[in-house]
Amino acid sequence: MSADSSGESIAADRASSPADTLTAAERGARALGGDPVRVAIVGATGYVGAELVRLLALHPYVRIAGLVGRERRGDPIAHIHPHLATKDLKVYDNVPDDAEAVFLALPHGVAAARAGEYLGNGQTVIDMGPDFRFRDAADYETWYHAEHPRPDLLPGAVYGLPELHRSALAELGTRPGAIIGSPGCYATTAILSLAPLAREGLIADVVVDAKSGVSGAGRDPKADLHFGEVNESVKAYGMFTHRHTGEIEQELLSQSPAADANPGAVGIDFLPHLVPMTRGILAACHVRPTRPVTQAELDAIYADAYGDEAFVTVVEHAPATKHVLGSNEFRVWCHVDDRTGRVLAIGVLDNMVKGAAGQAIQAFNVLHGLPETTALLQLPLAP
């Protein structure tokens, strides 16, 4: 099989192309003219890193300028991710200087500690972890039990959920030093499921009961990710303490019409489960609404919220995670139970795509002024 050679010439590129000082928007404009944005992926040996490669390798306005992983001086990516064997990409131990955007798939705390260096090189940072998701460092510290390494950078970051922050992302692209805090997989599912209700002030007392495939837990072998443990079993985990709870509360509160008067949007009861599948998240959001609602109202609220969204579909039948497998789609179903008056919103996505790599590329596209759906139009893989 013939192969591209983009990974081979890193050293040469470095010498000839020191990182410029353009904004993301300027680089995007240049890319549309034929000179792609050079991106690096740090943490390419993990699942999220591999997924970024899978999608970016076919992005017409991007060139993968470098893959970075621990102690992998020149190993072909296929040694770590056999499914990427047809791409002639190698893994190095640092980011090439000419990279213009850096995707970080790193442990929390590490990303923030390094981000300053990348920003100093004129590189845009898209962080897949939690370090730039919170607007208030105190929230980070509450949920991660650690001091934030660079609270000074938080004001320059935007939560990378285009459906909620599209204009902020686009505006961010016109400034140097852009940082995207790409949302958590569970958080994306819960927030997109509930944001329309939050905007209407309907949310109070919410239970978010979520189910995830295993890939969200990462690629490191652990006893509880062993096939023999996961297969034919369901379990809850992270009871009361899952860190995405903080993100969900922050974003839903930010959507509420009278945030400070709406304590119901705080105190989400979030419970994740591990189910025996590889990809996919389903969140069942059980809401006791602040006032009675009709199905017609709900239909209008969701149609209004998502009618123009390329990656969100409001569905008539309860969605299954397989309906969106491998794609950047989010689907949501929201109904009222006439017997009890409760409202149920069910959202699904592929945690590796709309819950991670795809979402980050979507935000990257917005940031750079590129068509938002670029490289993200693959249809779901079923059965």
Residues with a catalytic annotation lie at 185
Q: Which listed range, 36-44, 132-140, 145-153, 205-213, lies at the site for a copy of itself (CB under 8 A)?
A: 205-213
> How far apart are CB 227 and a copy of itself at their closest, in Å?
4
> How far apart are CB 223 and a copy of itself at their closest, in Å?
5
CB contact set of 134 (below 8 Å; sequence gap of 6+): 140, 154, 181, 246, 247, 250
The site string for a copy of itself over 90-129 (x = CB under 8 A, - otherwise) reads: ----------------------------------------
CB 355 within 8 A of CB 324: no
Distance CA 250, CA 140 (A): 11
Using the minimum distance from each CB to a copy of itself, give the nearer residue, 160 or 347.
347
Residue with tokens 């309907």: 202
Q: How many residues bind a copy of itself (CB under 8 A)?
A: 92
CB contact set of 243 (below 8 Å; sequence gap of 6+): 130, 143, 144, 184
CB 148 within 8 A of CB 110: no
CA distances, 178 to each of 21, 76, 117, 359 (Å): 12, 30, 13, 17
Among 147, 152, 304, 337, contact with a copy of itself (rule: CB under 8 A): 337
Among 5, 227, 260, 291, contact with a copy of itself (rule: CB under 8 A): 227
CB 130 within 8 A of CB 139: no
Among 225, 254, 259, 299, contact with a copy of itself (rule: CB under 8 A): 225
Q: Is 279 in the site for a copy of itself (CB under 8 A)?
A: yes
Using the minimum distance from each CB to a copy of itself, give the nearer residue, 159 or 330.
330
Looking at residues 235 to 254 of the shown chain, list those that interact with a copy of itself (rule: CB under 8 A): 235-237, 239-240
CB 33 within 8 A of CB 60: no
> How far apart are CB 58 and a copy of itself at their closest, in Å?
6
Q: Is 134 in the site for a copy of itself (CB under 8 A)?
A: no
Using the minimum distance from each CB to a copy of itself, give the nearer residue, 71 or 155.
71
CB contact set of 123 (below 8 Å; sequence gap of 6+): 19, 40, 95, 99, 100, 101, 102
Q: Which amino acid is at 43?
A: G
Four-residue CA torsion sign, 275, 283, 45, 54: positive
Q: Is 70 in the site for a copy of itself (CB under 8 A)?
A: no
Using the minimum distance from each CB to a copy of itself, give the nearer residue, 223 or 258.
223
> How far apart are CB 260 and a copy of itself at their closest, in Å?
19
- Which residues is 259 bridged to in the sheet? none
Distance CA 117, CA 69 (A): 17
Distance CA 98, CA 185 (A): 30
Q: What are phi and psi of 371, to 5 degrees?
A: -55, 130
Looking at residues 38 to 57 of the shown chain, list those that interact with a copy of itself (rule: CB under 8 A): 47, 50, 53-54, 57
Q: Which listed range, 26-34, 79-87, 115-123, 182-190, lies at the site for a copy of itself (CB under 8 A)?
A: 79-87
> How far apart are CB 75 and a copy of itself at their closest, in Å?
14
Using the minimum distance from each CB to a copy of itself, give the nearer residue, 73 or 235.
235
Looking at residues 285 to 324 of the shown chain, list those that interact with a copy of itself (rule: CB under 8 A): 286, 288, 306-313, 315, 317-324
Q: Which listed range, 35-43, 97-105, 158-166, 341-349, lies at the site for a copy of itself (CB under 8 A)?
A: 341-349
Looking at residue 324, the DSSP 8-state letter turns out to be: G
Distance CA 100, CA 115 (A): 13
Among 17, 121, 254, 278, contact with a copy of itself (rule: CB under 8 A): 278
Using the minimum distance from each CB to a copy of itself, give the nearer residue, 123 or 321.
321
Q: Which amino acid is at 31?
A: A
Q: Is 228 in the site for a copy of itself (CB under 8 A)?
A: yes
